[in-house]
């Protein structure tokens, strides 16, 4: 019977299915809802990713640290 990889192994294996710039980042103590649990760190990582892809080096964090949080999105986004 095949075994199912643990959550960590499965997450790390994501790279095999991504055909774009990709970086795996572990956020200790953070679960599935990273944007709600560690919004400042998630925003920082997203801004780094966008900056790396766009060549822009002076991106600033949004005024609201939960700006990128799923809980703040409307049902239309």
Low-confidence ranges of the chain (pLDDT < 50): 1, 4, 65-77
Contact 8, 32 (CB under 8 A): no
Distance between CA atoms of 75 and 72, rounded to whole angstroms?
10
Give tens-digit pLDDT for 26-47: 999 998 899 999 999 999 999 8
pLDDT of residue 41: 94
End-to-end CA distance of the chain: 41
Q: Please report the pLDDT score of residue 19 as a whole number.
A: 87
């Amino acid at each position: 019977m095949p075994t199912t990889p643990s959550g960590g192994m499965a997450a790390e294996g994501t790279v095999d299915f991504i055909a774009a710039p990709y970086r795996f980042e572990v956020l200790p103590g953070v679960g599935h809802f990273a944007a709600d649990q560690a919004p400042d760190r998630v925003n920082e990582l997203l801004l780094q990713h966008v900056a790396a892809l766009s060549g822009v080096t002076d991106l600033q964090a949004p005024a609201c640290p939960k700006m990128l949080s799923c809980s703040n999105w409307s049902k239309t986004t």
